[in-house]
Amino acid sequence: MQNAMYSALFGALSNEHRVNSIANNLANVNTTGYKRDVLAFKDTMVLFAHDHIMEPVANLRDKKFFPDPQHIARTRIATALTDFQQGGMKVTSAPLDLAINGEGFFKVASPDGEFYTRNGHFTVNEEGTVVTERGWPVLSEGGEITVPPGTKNIVVAEDGRVFADENLIGQVQVVTVDNLANLEKQGSNLYRPRPGAEVAEVEIDPNRTWIAQGFLESANVDAVYEMVNMIEAQRQFEAYQKVMQTSDAIDREANTKVGRQRG
C-alpha cells in the first residue's frame, strides 16, 4: 500500500501549497493594486525501465517477461502564475493617487534597481520628489518628478503628464513588458524580471490605457471566490489524510497477520 500512501502524501502537500496561496490572496484583499496568485496542478506518471520494452518478442520468447506497466499518478504543482486582470477603482480624490486603467505598470527606482508596480499611492517628500510609500522615486520619461516649492495645484493628465500650477514638470512613466509571465513578485507589491528571463519593455497603447487621478486600483481578489477555494482545498487535504490513515491501517493489519504464527 506504499503507492497509495505516497500518492496521498503528494496530493496533501500540493493542497497545502494551494491553501497558502489562497491565504495570501485573502490577506491582500485590501492591498492597493495587488494581483492574485493562481496555481495549476498536473498528474505525473511514474515510469519504470521495463515499461519501455515492447513485448512479446517472438524470436526470443512467447510469454511476457515483465509485468504490465504500472503508472502511479502523483499530483504536482505545474505552475504558479499571477493574474494581471484589472482591479476595481476606488475614489480617494488625493492629487497624487493614480490608477492605471488598462495594462501597464508604474516604474520606481529603488536602491536595488528599477521595479514595476500597480500601486499608485504616491506622495511628495521633503525634497519635493514624487515617491512611493517606501520613499522610492517614481520615474518619469526624463528621470524623477520634482514638484516646485509652493505648488498649490497638481494635475495629472490621462497620458501621465504632470502639471504643477499649469506648468509641465514631467510625465509619469507607464510601461508594460512583452511577456508578463516573466515577471515575479518581490514583495511590497513590486515586480521585476525573473532571474535569467529576457524581458523587453513595450509601448503602451494610449487608446487602451490611461491614468485616473484621484483613484486607486483595488486588488483583483474576490473574497467569496477565494473562501470557496479555501474550503475546497481544506476538504481535499482532509480526504488525503484519510487515505494515508487507511493505508497505514491496512499495512499494520497485513504485517500483524503475516507475522502471526499458526498452530
Q: Could you tell me if 164 and 147 are in contact, meaning their C-beta atoms sit under 8 angstroms apart?
A: yes
Q: What is the per-residue pLDDT for 27?
A: 94
Q: What mean pLDDT comes out for the span 120-130?
A: 93
Reported as a pLDDT band with limits 50, 70 and 90, residue 259 is low
Q: What DSSP element (H or E) covers 174?
A: strand 174-177
Beta bridge partners of 121: 97
Query: Cell digits for 154?
Result: 497638481
Reported as a pLDDT band with limits 50, 70 and 90, residue 9 is confident
Q: What is the per-residue pLDDT for 220?
A: 94
User: Could you say which DSSP state residue 194 is in?
Assistant: P
Residue 51 has pLDDT above 60, yes or no: no
Q: Specify the higher pLDDT residue, 73 or 165.
A: 165
Q: What mean pLDDT comes out for the span 158-165?
A: 93
Q: What is the per-residue pLDDT for 112?
A: 87
Residue 110 has pLDDT above 60, yes or no: yes
Q: What is the per-residue pLDDT for 23?
A: 93
Residue 36 has pLDDT above 90, yes or no: yes
Q: How far is CA 143 from CA 52, 137, 140, 198, in A?
A: 61, 9, 5, 24
Share of residues in the chain with pLDDT > 70 (%): 83
* Span 174-210, pLDDT tens digits: 999 998 988 989 888 899 998 888 888 888 888 889 9
Q: What is the per-residue pLDDT for 187?
A: 83
Q: What is the per-residue pLDDT for 54?
A: 52
Share of residues in the chain with pLDDT > 90 (%): 49
Q: What is the per-residue pLDDT for 115?
A: 94
Nearest alpha carbon to residue 36 among 86, 75, 73, 70: 86
Q: What mean pLDDT comes out for the span 23-31?
A: 94
Q: What is the per-residue pLDDT for 40?
A: 75
Q: Specify the higher pLDDT residue, 259 or 177.
A: 177
* Span 55-86, pLDDT tens digits: 555 554 456 655 565 555 666 666 778 999 99
Q: Could you tell me if 207 and 23 are in contact, meaning their C-beta atoms sit under 8 angstroms apart?
A: no
pTM, 2 dp: 0.76
- Mean pLDDT computed over every residue of the chain: 84
Q: Tell me if residue 69 falls in helix, strand or coil.
A: coil
Most distant pair of Cα atoms in the chain: their distance: 103
Q: Could you tell me if 213 and 100 are in contact, meaning their C-beta atoms sit under 8 angstroms apart?
A: no
